[in-house]
Structure 1
């Protein structure tokens, strides 16, 4: 009788294939010796995995040439990932717009398209149609079609649990519960994974941003409203219903009072009392850089507010690094000196604070990473016939 949790041959093959593909995605060419060093597998296991992946079309073998991995004078076998064996799609779905990107198996973006929703309250089917149109346009730009897509990850501005269910206890979150997974599966046969946008931002930042390789990382999407993605000991935190990182608690934090974001507050605070905002956040930051006293005062208020927010995160989670992300990230560089000066007043566990270099692409970068993780994990179960 098999012990509970014992590894099966099929499970080991899947784990080994995942390890090999993950390494090949990061390097141009790898010998068996390279793969042994990177994965910890034996030579026999590496060759068995590579033979399987060769048959399935995931990798190709270069013409042999003598190299440092040669055995007894024989030339080393050299393996290369086939980056266009299939594609993944990453989607950022906001309240007003959606952006879809297509990436090859190395994670290189080869197609991108954005679409705007007619209004916030449009029917679910219309919202799905707009997302589907953005995906189609991105695939067309990439020079490929729906049949080559191996996985899709969509980021939503709502909590999503580990099973991909949207938490709908707030009206704003309900607009994202439109049945996207079923709809795109029915139309194209796609595997669609749903995830919170801030969680994807954390994955993207750890992969290709200023938090590369950091195991205890928090990314705060801070443009219009604040939400956080939390990585602890290298693992993305979800919580019981997917709401880990939600920042509604900021209404109870002294000196903060709401989850309003940097861009929203910059517009509101720069406007004259009683008048609607007429200047965009980017212009407020530019005015402060030019010495406008009113704009400088706004940035000072923002630095203290964000310092209090980051301190609350530092007290609860104790990350090594906190990243300010989203469309406001470029402007947020101006806030960093003030934030770092104030943080020791609010917390004894001061993290490193940076602004993301990924800009408004941070969610789609994370969505691509999330989809690639799925593809590499399930490589031996996926059919590459269409992609090759």
Structure 2
């Protein structure tokens, strides 16, 4: 692990190794010259780090073949390839009603995804830990990898998280459920904790509609609203991890709280049912208002139901106020509506765009995420991979652990 007293040469070497892994992941076979071009490092540095990464199990050196690649003093170039399956990481999203876990290899390719019901507030701390154990074991089994291959686990939670990975909240739920300690003690894994909306922002910029966007807001907008914010490509956290928290919406006219699109679609849909006997919402929910879902409201609106369309108009104006207030503070290039509700929320975009100029002088581009309800666990994978890349010289695949330790 890195320490505050590590010599500067060691720190530089770790930074260079991280840059090498970033360049090689998913790039196929690369020569030393190609790595020099992509990283800006000298040949001596590239070859030295490649040799160490081969020893640690991150890279494989391929057999030299004359007639291919570049040459140095008449010899075939040394060729290296990143070993995608050298180790694995786990990304976990702990929600109020379910947990989703993804196991991925070092290229970031998902090997398995498992979702399990999780009525968090009805369980003791030990019972919550048992659920985490079961879902992790199931995900590893489906991925076909072993627990000792896991180099990092990242966990997303719906609470502010400090730079040191501490949940900053007075909620009893998190005081009694120390996720990092429990998972680390039970499995020996390195555990990273992060806010769920922050992880959603990492995922969206990695694999979503925001690839290449440096100034970005990703808004989880299902039952509750939360935002992850990137500025100049950097995730913003604030002094205590509260950057992007939306509690101030309680005081915004026309908003009043942090409930999200799914919550108000169902709530206002029920109100529409009470006011109109002809709306198709009655049929869609089987005449049981308590069974009405946001998806039903969006479906009815798509079929031309006037009451449902009125609900979507109200949602568009409310989200225009929300996004307008955030945009006035942060001035992003793009705001992405994310989470399970995103599949339906794309129909709100034109209405939000039309109304948003009333609430901000700096309206951003708008989009909905294609990553679905797995966006937080996918962002957790990205977060875990970033940690592994940064600490590559201190970590190694389980298959080489005894050899490296012995040396």
Q: Provide the residue aligned with 1:255 in structure 2.
A: 254
- Cα offsets for 1:223-271 (capped at 9, x unmatched): 0000000111111111122111111111111111111100111101111
Tell me, in whole angstroms, the C-alpha distance in 1 between the residues paired with 2:400 and 2:218: 34
Report how far residue 337 of structure 1 moved: 0.9
Report how far residue 298 of structure 1 moved: 0.8
* Paired residues of 2:97 and 2:118 also in contact (CA < 8 A): yes
Tell me, in whole angstroms, the C-alpha distance in 2 between the residues paired with 1:213 and 1:5: 35
Q: Provide the residue aligned with 1:83 in structure 2.
A: 84
DSSP 3-state at the match of 2:76? coil
Report how far residue 8 of structure 1 moved: 1.6
* Number of equivalent positions: 383
Tell me, in whole angstroms, the C-alpha distance in 1 between the residues paired with 2:326 and 2:202: 18
Q: Provide the residue aligned with 1:354 in structure 2.
A: 367
Tell me, in whole angstroms, the C-alpha distance in 2 between the residues paired with 1:322 and 1:95: 25
- 4+ residue segments displaced more than 6 Å: 4-7
Larger Rg belongs to: 2
Q: Provide the residue aligned with 2:219 in structure 1.
A: 220
* 1:308 paired to 2:318: no
Report how far residue 73 of structure 1 moved: 4.3
* Paired residues of 1:218 and 1:231 also in contact (CA < 8 A): yes
* 1:332 paired to 2:345: yes
Report how far residue 75 of structure 1 moved: 2.4
* Paired residues of 2:87 and 2:398 also in contact (CA < 8 A): no
* 1:229 paired to 2:250: no
DSSP 3-state at the match of 1:27? coil
* 1:200 paired to 2:213: no
Structure 2 residues not aligned, in runs of 5+? 276-287, 402-407
**1:335 to 1:176, Cα distance in 2 relative to 1, 3 A:** farther
- Cα offsets for 1:209-231 (capped at 9, x unmatched): 11112111110000000000011
DSSP 3-state at the match of 1:160? coil
Report how far residue 131 of structure 1 moved: 1.2
* 1:136 paired to 2:149: no
Structure 1 residues not aligned, in runs of 5+? none
* Paired residues of 2:249 and 2:256 also in contact (CA < 8 A): yes
Q: Provide the residue aligned with 1:383 in structure 2.
A: 396
RMSD: 1.9
Q: Which moved more, 1:27-36 or 1:209-218?
A: 27-36
Tell me, in whole angstroms, the C-alpha distance in 1 between the residues paired with 2:125 and 2:115: 18
Tell me, in whole angstroms, the C-alpha distance in 1 between the residues paired with 2:136 and 2:400: 17
Report how far residue 118 of structure 1 moved: 4.3
Equivalent residue runs for 1:26-105 within 5 Å = 26-65=26-65, 66-105=67-106
* Paired residues of 1:115 and 1:131 also in contact (CA < 8 A): no
* Paired residues of 1:67 and 1:75 also in contact (CA < 8 A): yes
* 1:122 paired to 2:135: no
Q: Provide the residue aligned with 1:15 in structure 2.
A: 15
* Paired residues of 1:156 and 1:176 also in contact (CA < 8 A): no
* Paired residues of 1:159 and 1:196 also in contact (CA < 8 A): yes
Q: Provide the residue aligned with 1:283 in structure 2.
A: 296
Q: Provide the residue aligned with 1:160 in structure 2.
A: 161
